[in-house]
Structure 1
């Protein structure tokens, strides 16, 4: 059976500061649409937004247990959480916003090595947005190519990390 892409974020909740509890509600709803069923999944999907994490945490834990989905530890959580946004970038979805979210996540987690190049790409794009003609953050990039470079880099990253991602996915 297919899982919601939000699963990449959800299984990392225990390791992510300022985790967005509304993502848990969206995830539960998507999982119901994918024909997953459990008592706590129904409760979780029915919680009103905006929510507070303390409201959803226990239902989320119980739902993951009922669906036999493991909660990830630090390194796997970082890989999984990042994969969610990198998949969006590779699909050309909200590239700038998703790149910024990875960059912020990287900064919050002490420049996590596995996704640090996305911070470099963020800084390069920022240079070009601020009128720079050159950036030292990414060789051979310019304001006309940076968007495509980011998309291609995301696709390459997913390909290079495919085995690790498969290992943590359900």
Structure 2
């Protein structure tokens, strides 16, 4: 692991978990093992019995002495960390369960940012499957295919992040009536029993209620495909 990866991990851990500042001491030791040297780094490596405030002081001073650039924006830092976790999961560098656990923490730390919300929905559905044998969001998910499903979610997440697909595009559903991707809308329906009036999701183009929603992996792959076409079209001379 490079010094940049070690540093990204430690900074992200401070944001997404209950953080023990002794990990900053471990970071210093690992960085020294990579061959880096500095006065502040040596001090930090020996701070086993001191305050969090002092450890953090020497940690950031070590970064400055070693000219290690770090992302200061918390949202961007979480994003970098999430992408790193996803890459390692897809490349089988880290255990899939471990990666999924980290992504659940990313969801919470990001205040349920739409970029990561799919991992929260999968987690909710797995709990529902265990206790009620039902799902709320992912109709294709089962306890038997959970590992494969989560791995595919990581792959899709990376593809969408690499393409920088806007959040609004990621929210699109697929209409099985007009065969178009669209942002679904709600419309009123009526029946001869209570509630006499209720709301349903429908296609934003033709009004059909025959939709596949954005949690569906086929729909996500269609969104990626369509966005690639859009980017190619934009890149061509007008």
Q: Same fold (TM over 0.5)?
A: yes
- For these two proteins, the number of residue pairs brought into alignment is 162
The structure-2 alpha-carbon separation of the partners of 1:97 and 1:19, relative to structure 1 and needing over 3 Å to count, comes to same
In the TM superposition, residue 116 of structure 1 has moved relative to its aligned partner by: 1.7
Give the aligned partner of residue 126 of structure 1.
Answer: 127
Range 107-116 or range 96-105, more displaced: 96-105
In structure 2, C-alpha distance between the alignment counterparts of 1:131 and 1:125, rounded to whole Å: 9
The structure-2 alpha-carbon separation of the partners of 1:119 and 1:22, relative to structure 1 and needing over 3 Å to count, comes to farther
Deviations 1:146-170 (A, max 9, x none): 1122123224423443488xxxxxx
Q: Which has the larger radius of gyration?
A: 2
The correspondence of residues 129-144 of structure 1 with structure 2, limited to 5 A, is 130-144=130-144
Q: Which runs of 5+ in 2 are unaligned?
A: 165-238
The structure-2 alpha-carbon separation of the partners of 1:147 and 1:3, relative to structure 1 and needing over 3 Å to count, comes to same
- TM-score between the two structures when normalised by the length of structure 1: 0.72
The structure-2 alpha-carbon separation of the partners of 1:109 and 1:75, relative to structure 1 and needing over 3 Å to count, comes to closer
- TM-score between the two structures when normalised by the length of structure 2: 0.55
Contact 1:12 1:81 in 2 (8 A): yes
Indicate the structure whose relative CO is greater, using CA pairs within 8 Å and at least 6 residues apart: 1
Contact 1:106 1:112 in 2 (8 A): yes
More helix by share: 1
Range 5-14 or range 75-84, more displaced: 5-14
Range 93-102 or range 111-120, more displaced: 93-102
In structure 1, C-alpha distance between the alignment counterparts of 2:51 and 2:82, rounded to whole Å: 23
The structure-2 alpha-carbon separation of the partners of 1:45 and 1:112, relative to structure 1 and needing over 3 Å to count, comes to farther
Note if 1:44 corresponds to 2:33.
no
Contact 1:106 1:116 in 2 (8 A): yes
Q: Which runs of 5+ in 1 are unaligned?
A: 165-170
Give the aligned partner of residue 168 of structure 1.
Answer: none
The structure-2 alpha-carbon separation of the partners of 1:38 and 1:83, relative to structure 1 and needing over 3 Å to count, comes to farther
Give the aligned partner of residue 59 of structure 2.
Answer: 60
